[in-house]
């Protein structure tokens, strides 16, 4: 197989200036919980799926987002209720408000940049000029903070939602790279981090209370009732 | 090509006389046919490696595919080498030959199964002896590192 990353499109979007919401299984699965809930609540339709030889079904690293150059993971499929699923990144679309929701998946070390880049390019092709990335950060309290590609967005979050830029440190995996590459490709990107207590035994164990905090603010930002 | 059969292993910890055959398919029709042959549907799990990828990519290309997974305890030698599980292989081949209406001499697998039983029995005996010696010895090491 010559191609290593490919996108299968099911629907073409005619959304006007959609905002993209991005989440992936990361610290306490906060980003994943946010996008999963948004997809259900907005009745979003699946518009495309990204497949890649760089998406493992079994990670050799724990947590899944701590990729390592010598541990590429193991390929394969997931079986659920008799159905077979290849690992993938999914793109959902919602017309009101115009939104593209990205259900991320962590790639291995070799493919992570190319996949995140392909995701950002796909969003740009579909008219996205603002990306909102959701994730968690290690904290004893569930406080929301933000980061952004420009100071105006940070100021806006501070004025409207009393949000600070409390988190400093690395932003691992799929969502971190989408955020970083959006910046390089001159797309406005805002990151909403919700504080969550790390679970060292199972770093990706879900924290739905923390994801709810992001959802409450996110729905106001994108005008979703 | 009408159909792809992918053969894989189903790792288990249970003790059994006869291995089960688990299965999944890209269509419910094929899965129902497998059930009639005594195959246990794989409801949840991961099929790793080539066997799984063949299933996933066949589905993407609308090619009918069936995965048969022979139950095995995944026997390993003390150095971590997997021992061929001829019993699981034979169970899957029995089913596959029925499905494909093929005649295959499975005799050589019986010989391999016997060899496998001997190796496992030998390993169990070594393990038993080590445990026995460890419990009999109350001598503590006379050094620290």
Residues with Cβ within 8 Å of B52's Cβ and at least 6 positions away in sequence, in order, are: A57, A75, A76, A77, B6, B8, B46, B67
In this complex, which of A77, A80, A81 lies closest to B52 when CB atoms are compared?
A: A77
Could you report the per-residue pLDDT of A137-167, keeping only the tens digit for each? 988 888 899 999 999 999 999 999 999 898 8
∠ CA(A66), CA(A72), CA(A76), 5° rounding?
Answer: 110
Token duo for residue B23: 């299965």
CA distance A128 to A123: 5
- If we measure between CA atoms, which residue out of A88, A77, A87 comes closest to residue A118? A88
Residue A19 CB neighbours (<10 A): 23
Give the three-state DSSP class for A185.
Answer: coil
Burial of A149 (0-12, 13-18, 19+ CB in 10 A): buried
Domain-wise residue ranges, chain A = 19-221
Q: Which residues contact A24 (CB under 8 A, 6 or more apart)?
A: A31, A32, A35, A65, A103, A104, A105, A106, A135, A173, A174, A175
pLDDT, one tens digit per residue, over A11-23 is 888 899 999 999 9
Mean pLDDT by 10 residues, chain B (145 residues): 93 89 95 94 94 96 96 79 86 94 90 83 82 73 57
Instruction: Note whether B46 contacts A84, CB cutoff 8 Å.
Output: no
- Contacts of A106 by beta carbon, 8 Å cutoff, 6+ apart: A24, A25, A26, A59, A64, A65, A67, A112, A173, A174
Instruction: Please report the pLDDT score of residue B80 as a whole number.
Output: 74
Measured between CA atoms, how close is B113 to chain A, in angstroms?
A: 29
Plot region of A44 (φ>0 → left; ψ -120 to 50 → alpha; else → beta): beta
| Cβ contact B49–A74 (<8 Å) | yes
Question: Regarding the domain delimited by A19-221, which CATH topology (the fold level of the hierarchy) does it fall under?
Answer: Rossmann fold (3.40.50)
B26 at A interface, C-beta within 8 A: yes
Q: What is residue B63's predicted lDDT score, i.e. its pLDDT? A: 96
Which residues does A contribute to its contact with B (CB < 8 Å)?
8, 51, 57-58, 74-82, 84-86
In chain B, the N- to C-terminal Cα span, in Å, equals: 63
**Where are the strands (E) in A69-180, listed by range?**
76-80, 83-85, 89-94, 99-103, 130-138, 144-148
Determine the angle formed by the axes of helices B86-100 and B107-136, rounding to 10 degrees.
160
User: A15: which residues sit within 8 A by CB, 6+ positions away?
Assistant: A93, A95, A98, A99, A100, A126, A127
ipTM of the modeled complex: 0.80
pLDDT of residue B138: 58
Closest-approach residue (CA) in chain B for A85? B56
Preceding peptide of B92 cis, ω within 30°: no
Name the residue facing B24 among A51, A74, A82 (closest C-beta): A82
Q: Which two tokens stand for residue B134?
A: 């460890």
B3 touches chain A (CB under 8 A): no
Residue in chain A lying closest to B51 (CA): A76
d(CA A99, CA A22): 11
Rounded-to-integer distance, Cα A31 and Cα A42, Å: 16
pLDDT in tens, A188-204: 999 999 989 888 888 88
What is the C-alpha end-to-end distance of chain A, expressed in Å? 45
A16-73 pLDDT, tens per residue? Answer: 999 999 999 988 999 999 999 999 999 999 999 999 999 999 998 888 888 899 899 9
- Find, in chain B, the residue whose alpha carbon is nearest to that of A83: B26
φ, ψ of residue B79 in degrees (nearest 5): -90, 5
How many CA atoms, within 13 angstroms, populate the side-chain half-sphere of residue B20?
Answer: 16
* SS3 (DSSP) at B68: strand
Provide, as residue numbers in chain B, all residues whose Cβ is less than 8 Å from the Cβ of A76: 46-49, 51-53, 56
Is the pLDDT at A1 greater than 60, yes or no? no
Which residues of chain B are within 8 Å of residue A7 when distances are taken between CB atoms? none
* Residues of chain B contacting residue A77, judged by C-beta atoms under 8 Å apart: 46-47, 52-53, 55-56
Contacts of B57 in chain A (CB under 8 A): 86
Chain A touched by B24 (CB under 8 Å): yes
Token pair, residue B143, equals 């050094």
Cross-chain residue pair A79–B46, CB shorter than 8 Å: yes
Residues of B in contact with A79 (CB under 8 A): 24, 42-47
Q: Which residue of A has its CA nearest to B27?
A: A83
Q: Which residues of A touch B26 (CB under 8 A)?
A: 84
| Integer CA distances (angstroms), B138 to A116, B132, B133, B134, B143, in order | 59, 12, 10, 8, 15
């Amino acid at each position: 197989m010559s191609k290593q990353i490919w996108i299968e499109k099911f629907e073409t979007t005619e959304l006007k200036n959609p905002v993209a919401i991005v989440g992936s299984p990361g610290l306490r699965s906060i980003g994943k919980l946010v996008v999963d809930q948004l997809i259900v609540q907005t009745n979003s339709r699946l518009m495309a799926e990204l497949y890649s030889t760089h998406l493992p079904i079994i990670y050799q690293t724990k947590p899944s987002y701590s990729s390592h150059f010598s541990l590429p993971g193991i390929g394969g499929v997931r079986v659920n209720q008799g159905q077979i699923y290849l690992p993938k990144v999914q793109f959902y679309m919602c017309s009101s408000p115009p939104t593209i929701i990205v259900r991320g998946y962590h790639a291995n070390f070799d493919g992570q940049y190319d996949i995140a880049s392909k995701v950002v390019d796909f969003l740009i092709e579909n008219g996205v000029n603002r990306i909102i990335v959701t994730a968690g950060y290690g904290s004893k309290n569930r406080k929301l903070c933000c980061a952004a590609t420009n100071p105006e967005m940070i100021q806006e979050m501070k004025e409207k939602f009393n949000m600070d830029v409390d988190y400093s440190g690395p932003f691992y995996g799929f969502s971190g790279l989408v955020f970083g590459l959006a910046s390089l490709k001159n797309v406005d990107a805002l990151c909403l981090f919700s504080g969550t207590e790390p679970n060292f035994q199972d770093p990706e164990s879900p924290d739905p209370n923390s994801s709810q905090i992001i959802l409450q603010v996110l729905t106001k930002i994108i005008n979703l009732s | 090509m009408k159909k792809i059969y992918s053969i894989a292993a189903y790792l288990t910890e249970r003790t059994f006389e006869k291995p089960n055959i688990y299965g999944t398919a890209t269509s419910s029709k094929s899965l129902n046919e497998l059930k009639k042959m005594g195959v246990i549907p794989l409801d949840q799990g991961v099929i790793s490696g080539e066997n799984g990828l063949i299933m996933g990519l066949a589905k993407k290309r609308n090619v009918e595919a069936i995965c048969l997974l022979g139950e095995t305890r995944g026997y390993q030698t003390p150095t971590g080498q997997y021992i061929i599980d001829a019993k699981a292989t034979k169970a899957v081949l029995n089913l596959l030959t029925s499905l494909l209406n093929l005649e295959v001499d499975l005799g050589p697998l019986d010989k391999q199964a016997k060899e496998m039983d001997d190796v496992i029995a030998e390993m169990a005996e070594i393990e038993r002896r080590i445990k026995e010696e460890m419990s009999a010895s109350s001598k503590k090491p006379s050094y620290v590192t």
